[in-house]
Structure 1
């Protein structure tokens, strides 16, 4: 999806298919990780963590958006286990179409 970056940090998000993670890198330092699991043709987004000194700088938003863009580009759907991912999608409804309608996982609180 076309979007503005969510952070002013010059991070790079990379997918590690062996570890089943999307990782946010600032130069050589991994500063955040989104853990996923492939299950029955879906991508279950399990949890996200950002190093304390980089929290509140938009790293998690950039990491989630990059992961959701990648899943959307692959044609797969997402099941949301992580409440941070659920909150992100609630705040950015343009990503709602990536969520598996039959197995959405955590539902919106609204």
Structure 2
């Protein structure tokens, strides 16, 4: 049973853009593990890995020794916005700060490009809630999902 004073990390509201007409979605156990990592240690030390924007597959890839160990999938929406879809980290690389650092580097890249983001990934939303310095990157007209409330436009 959950503590009623703690927020439910699986309570996310999706807009119609996310493809859930009832506004609800179910998180996988993998997503919950990554949300916990990002929420519990949002300033995890950087793991030694490279981040590559694979524009052909629309995935920012986390690379260790020429092997992809993590990814953040996205769609391009016009010239000035990315829709951040999903973060994944191979199980053996979790709890090492890779998910957190991947999101940080992607958002830093978005900022350098002068773009905004629509968030359809609850892991990215959790990161931004724990790192409000990135909140200005959320597109005001197309914010994406919210946690436990409706984000105003």
Name the SS for the 2:129 alignment partner.
helix
Runs of 4+ off more than 4 Å: none
Name the SS for the 1:9 alignment partner.
coil
Residue correspondence of structure 1 range 16-95 to structure 2 within 5 A: 16-40=54-78, 41-95=80-134
Query: What are structure 1's unaligned runs of at least 5 residues?
Result: none
Report the CA distance between 1:45 and its aligned residue.
0.2
More strand by share: 1
Report the CA distance between 1:27 and its aligned residue.
1.5
Q: Count matched residues.
A: 106
Greater C-alpha radius of gyration: 2
Alignment root-mean-square deviation, CA: 1.5
Query: What are structure 2's unaligned runs of at least 5 residues?
Result: 1-42
Deviations 1:12-40 (A, max 9, x none): 11111111110001121210010000013
Measured in 2, the distance between the counterparts of 1:8 and 1:15 equals 18
Q: Do the aligned residues in 2 keep the contact of 1:32 with 1:48 (CA within 8 Å)?
A: yes
Between 1 and 2, higher relative CO (CA 8 Å, sep ≥ 6) is seen in 2
Name the SS for the 1:57 alignment partner.
coil
